[in-house]
């Protein structure tokens, strides 16, 4: 079988691959399919231009390119975007695909990364048992904004595809076109995925971080026109090596004498990468930092790091051509693209010709060129070349930039970089479905005020009886060779009654009916009897149910007698007798020795008491860290409070 180019194993690491197919393509006219896909590509980029222009990508932007039919993969539009360390880029693309299929129902989307079907990973707790990474290929799609999964038929005549076979893209699309309702994912799977996408598109703005930086005037000019060039500069500094730093011993492009205070818009990932790295500049570079106690120390530090990143970018490229690029307005698609931006209030009421309007227009033209005009032969400029070209074509006024320092917007708080243990606990509880959705949005005072009430409610809500019952259910649950299953997984399955299975189970319990025996069976029985007689064994006599029960009881009594002389009994907690309770008014259980008199009656064990005792001792030995007892209890939905009896 030919390798499928859309398989997750072919996707680079830290990248997401996406494809948009025609749900009902023409089977005979390939040119008509190409014409429709190219037209839909223009409509998509125009419709979502407002979101794409304001977004800052970590490494590569979202892009759609026409891909002709290859093998079993029909013609489609799609792309592959590297998101690096910012996984939010990946989920923003998933949101875009969901909205694209909702706006254009004639399209069906498929998305995945190097881990496989990332949409299924997010809803792993609610997937049907038959679905796993080995048989999920070409089964998961976005249609009309909803998640669809090609089902596995449980009986003949049902819609679906056998779990043992991998459908092709064309076969999956045909099934989605003919019976879409049968392929719709369950409400729990769709809710789990939607919970991950909630917040978009507002999450774009909340994911930004605005900070003041002392930057060379050239960098301030570049970022005003091309905010997207911030990401490669941060990456160049973040991934620097000794060879890169050689270019920063003496700055040639961005001189420290031209620094001005300006406001820079980061994504939270870019800001964290720049902020959290400790770096001291070379004395020969001319960049020096003020004392840490100075209020503007962070602005100087961030600006110094950004200057190093931009200098590294420019040192790695050649001098750009003096010929300017063709303006975007020369392209016939520019008019509809611009109208869509105006319709979505992209220019925010700025007067045409104003400085802010021109900067927004430059960003829009850049996105248009990347989306509509970018071809393998034309997109050969590196980020450093683009920076140098902007510096060539856009001279700056240092005095004017210094005047703007008085009118900078306030910078955002970076308190989100600090994660307290309480915040981490809330994130884990929310991930497990037990936390409130708004806890992380509280301030420190609100968290501390609510902490006591939540702790009191938690201590009052848990029950040791529920813990023992949950553990018994877990032990008694029948699991397969794939691993232990949590008890509530089976409780969520629809109830079904199989008469044949019940009859078979009763036959095994009460004794199956006599079956017809052939000559080979008699020969085997004779051989077994001869072997038993040779070794001195006698064949067991057929016993009734009562006799078998009495025999089992005698075996257990004999086992108890043999264990009396060992230390096994010391490991259990035994209930006290009535006379012991009178002598020990505190009522605390104590371990009884197993070396009792021979005639003394063996005390029965309290299984629940020993279970709870061992669990609590195991939790206490973990000292608040993760361990087998806490992991097992949390997987079953039990969250025991901290041990307040120990310091």
What the block records as the tokens of 426 is: 């809330």
How many domains does the chain fold into?
3
Residue 49's CB: how many other CB atoms inside 10 A? 23
Please give the residue that has the higher pLDDT: either 220 or 366: 220
Domain stop point among 197, 225, 247: 197
How far CA 512 is from CA of 337, 503, 504, 519, in Å, comes to 77, 10, 9, 20
Task: Round to the nearest angstrom and report the end-to-end CA distance of the chain.
Answer: 64
- Please check whether residues 144 and 27 belong to one and the same domain: yes
- Please check whether residues 78 and 28 belong to one and the same domain: yes
- Please check whether residues 304 and 254 belong to one and the same domain: yes
- Please check whether residues 292 and 388 belong to one and the same domain: yes
Query: Residue 141 domain-assigned?
Result: yes
- Please check whether residues 146 and 96 belong to one and the same domain: yes
- Please check whether residues 242 and 105 belong to one and the same domain: no
Query: Residue 337 domain-assigned?
Result: no
- Provide the pLDDT for residue 36: 93
Please give the residue that has the higher pLDDT: either 539 or 612: 612
Query: Residue 219 domain-assigned?
Result: yes
What is the pTM for the complete model shown? 0.67
Please give the residue that has the higher pLDDT: either 351 or 189: 189
- Provide the pLDDT for residue 78: 93
Of the candidate ranges 66-80, 219-233, 482-496, 554-568, the one whose mean pLDDT is the lowest: 482-496
pLDDT over 90 at 556, yes or no = no
- Please check whether residues 225 and 313 belong to one and the same domain: yes
Query: Residue 457 domain-assigned?
Result: yes
- Provide the pLDDT for residue 3: 41
What the block records as the tokens of 480 is: 């397969």
pLDDT tens digits for 155-193? 887 888 888 888 999 999 999 998 889 999 999 999 999
Residue 573 region, left (φ>0) first, then alpha (ψ -120 to 50), else beta?
A: beta
Please give the residue that has the higher pLDDT: either 376 or 586: 586
Please give the residue that has the higher pLDDT: either 175 or 364: 175
**Mean pLDDT to the nearest integer, 303-317:** 90
- Please check whether residues 115 and 225 belong to one and the same domain: no
Please give the residue that has the higher pLDDT: either 467 or 265: 265
- Provide the pLDDT for residue 542: 53
Query: Residue 440 domain-assigned?
Result: yes
- Please check whether residues 235 and 260 belong to one and the same domain: yes
Across all residues in the chain, what is the average pLDDT? 77
- Provide the pLDDT for residue 534: 57
Query: Residue 576 domain-assigned?
Result: no
Query: Residue 1 domain-assigned?
Result: no
Domain stop point among 341, 373, 407: 407
Please give the residue that has the higher pLDDT: either 161 or 142: 142
Parent domain of 245: 208-320+381-407
- Please check whether residues 166 and 274 belong to one and the same domain: no
pLDDT over 60 at 106, yes or no = yes
Q: What percent of the chain has pLDDT over 90?
A: 26
- Please check whether residues 63 and 104 belong to one and the same domain: yes
- Please check whether residues 162 and 38 belong to one and the same domain: yes
Could you give the CA distance from residue 282 to residue 297 in angstroms, rounded to a whole number?
17
Strands 107-113, 140-143: pairing kind: antiparallel
Query: Residue 523 domain-assigned?
Result: no
């Amino acid at each position: 079988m030919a390798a499928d180019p859309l398989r997750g194993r072919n996707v680079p690491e830290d990248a997401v691959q996406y494809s948009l197919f025609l749900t009902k393509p023409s089977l005979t006219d390939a040119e008509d399919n190409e014409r429709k896909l190219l037209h839909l590509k223009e409509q998509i980029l125009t419709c979502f231009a407002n979101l794409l222009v304001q977004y800052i990508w970590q490494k590569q932007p979202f892009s759609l390119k026409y891909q002709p039919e290859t093998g079993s993969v029909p013609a489609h539009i799609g792309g592959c975007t590297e998101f690096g360390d910012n996984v939010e880029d990946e989920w923003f693309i998933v949101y875009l695909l969901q909205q694209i299929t909702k706006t254009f129902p004639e399209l069906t989307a498929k998305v995945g990364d190097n881990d496989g079907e990332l949409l299924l990973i997010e809803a792993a707790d609610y997937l049907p048992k038959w679905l796993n990474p080995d048989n999920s290929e070409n089964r998961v799609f976005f249609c009309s904004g909803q998640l669809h999964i090609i089902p596995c038929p449980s009986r003949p005549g049902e819609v679906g595809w056998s779990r043992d076979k991998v459908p092709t893209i064309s076969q999956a699309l045909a099934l989605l076109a003919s019976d879409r309702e049968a392929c719709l994912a369950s409400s729990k799977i769709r809710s789990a995925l939607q919970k991950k996408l909630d917040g978009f598109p507002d999450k774009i703005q909340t994911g930004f971080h605005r900070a003041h930086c002392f930057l060379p005037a050239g960098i301030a000019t570049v970022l005003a026109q091309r905010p997207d060039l911030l990401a490669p500069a941060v990456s160049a500094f973040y991934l620097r090596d000794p060879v890169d730093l050689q270019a920063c011993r003496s700055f040639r492009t961005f001189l420290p004498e031209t620094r001005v205070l300006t406001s820079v818009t980061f994504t939270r990932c870019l800001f964290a990468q720049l902020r959290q790295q400790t770096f001291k500049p070379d004395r020969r570079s001319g960049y020096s930092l003020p004392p840490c106690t100075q209020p503007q120390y962070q602005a100087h530090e961030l600006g110094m790091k950004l200057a190093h990143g931009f200098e590294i970018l420019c040192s790695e490229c050649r001098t750009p051509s003096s010929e300017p690029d063709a303006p975007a307005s020369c392209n016939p698609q520019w008019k509809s693209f611009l109208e869509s931006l105006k319709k979505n209030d992209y220019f925010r009421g700025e007067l045409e010709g104003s400085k802010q309007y021109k900067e927004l227009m430059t960003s829009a033209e850049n996105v248009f060129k990347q989306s509509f005009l970018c071809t393998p032969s034309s997109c050969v400029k590196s980020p450093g070349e683009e920076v140098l070209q902007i510096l060539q074509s856009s001279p700056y006024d240092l005095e004017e930039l210094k005047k703007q320092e008085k009118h900078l917007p306030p910078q955002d708080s970076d308190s989100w970089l600090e994660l307290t243990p309480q915040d981490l606990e809330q994130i884990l509880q929310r991930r497990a479905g037990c936390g409130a959705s708004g806890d992380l949005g509280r301030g420190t005072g609100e968290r501390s005020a609510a902490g006591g009430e939540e702790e009191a409610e938690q201590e009052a809500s848990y029950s040791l009886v529920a813990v023992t019952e949950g553990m018994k259910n877990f032990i008694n649950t029948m699991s397969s060779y794939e691993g232990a299953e949590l008890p509530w997984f089976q409780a969520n399955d629809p109830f079904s009654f199989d008469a044949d299975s019940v009859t078979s189970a009763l036959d095994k319990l009460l004794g199956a009916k006599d079956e017809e025996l052939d000559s080979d069976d008699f020969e085997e029985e004779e051989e077994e009897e001869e072997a038993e007689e040779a070794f001195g064994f006698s064949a067991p006599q057929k016993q009734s149910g009562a006799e078998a029960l009495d025999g089992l009881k005698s075996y257990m009594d004999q086992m108890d007698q043999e264990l009396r002389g060992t230390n096994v009994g010391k490991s259990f907690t035994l209930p006290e007798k009535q006379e012991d309770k009178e002598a020990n008014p505190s009522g605390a259980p104590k371990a009884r020795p197993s070396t009792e008199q021979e005639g003394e009656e063996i005390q029965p064990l309290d299984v629940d008491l020993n279970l709870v005792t061992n669990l609590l001792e195991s939790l206490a030995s973990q000292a608040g860290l993760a361990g087998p007892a806490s992991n097992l209890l949390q997987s079953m939905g039990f969250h025991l409070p901290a041990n307040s009896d120990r310091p």
